[in-house]
Amino acid sequence: MKKLFSLLLILFILGFFSVIYAQTTERTAVIIDQSGTSTEVKGLYIGGQPGKYKNSFNDLVIITETFDVLIPGSNLISIEYTGDGTKNKRKFDVSYYWMGEKKMISGNLADMKFLGQSDFGKISISTNELKQLRFSQVSDKIKQKEEFYSDGYIKLRDGTKLEFKDLKKHAYYSYRYKDTLPQSAMDRAMQRQRFTWRSRMKSRYNASIAFVRGKSQGQLEFKNLKSIEFEGENNRDIIITLKNGKSTKAIIKDFDGLIGVCGKGEFYIERKNIRIVYFY
């Protein structure tokens, strides 16, 4: 009896997840490439996301002049190519849902691939070759409309102002790891394995800044700050103002950009484009 119950439970779980999988992957999209070829695609997903986004999967990255926006693939409505065909003027209008509302943003697409299944087999098309993409159904993952409550704003070098929440500092760091080398005939004969040390870049995220002030080093959490102003060569010189009104000049360290959530989606801003970060 216990075995029968366990078997039924397993079958129920497998059936449940099969239904969920079908609901979330069976949206149909029509893709037109730069040659004008049209293909109907099911189970479309996006591969090849930049590593600076934390836990990113099946997401589209739009690159504007001063910041990037990450859009979940399940939120996409359409993508329309509006550029002139040159490498420096590749531009797309992207329509999507965010926080329960329809949004539109213009910019270039990060180097990714659209993958899925067509009547002619598996399909793969890079963002460089895309002309148009349109979904025929709305995803079941679209949330109800929700209010956006910001923790502050970022003012960019071009004057753009972004209200944000869940702000994190992003920094790349290098680490070494031991890698196995292929065995030669001599290695196999002597039953030995050789190794080498290699370097790899990874991302780190936290809600704080590290800096150098005079001869000392310091670190402050965002929750204790009123503002950070960026200036000087390479935007490394900063003015830190605390919530109590005290301020100081410093040199920022281990800081490549900021990641967070805004009214358009999840964003990433490189340090060079930031003018001021103001916390409420």
- Tens-place pLDDT, residues 79-99: 999 976 555 568 999 999 998
Same domain, 263 and 217: yes
Domain finish residue from 79, 105, 135: 135
- Distances in Å between the Cα of 29 and the Cα atoms of 51, 102, 116, 121, 132 are 26, 18, 10, 15, 10
One domain, residues 109 and 166: no
In a shared domain, residues 164 and 125: no
The pTM for the full model equals 0.78
CA distance 252 to 247: 14
156 shares a domain with 123: no
Residue 251 lies in domain: 152-173+202-279
Structural domain tally of the chain? 2
What backbone phi and psi angles, to 5 degrees, belong to 88? -85, -10
Distance CA 257, CA 167 (A): 11
Question: Is residue 20 included in any domain, yes or no?
Answer: no
Burial status of residue 24 (CB atoms within 10 A of its CB: 0-12, 13-18, 19 or more): middle
**pLDDT, tens digit, for every residue of 19-76?**
434 344 478 999 999 999 999 999 988 887 555 666 567 889 999 999 999 999 889 9
Distance CA(56)–CA(49), nearest Å, equals 7
Domain assignment present for 256: yes
Residues 75 and 117 in one domain: yes
Distance CA 112, CA 57 (A): 12
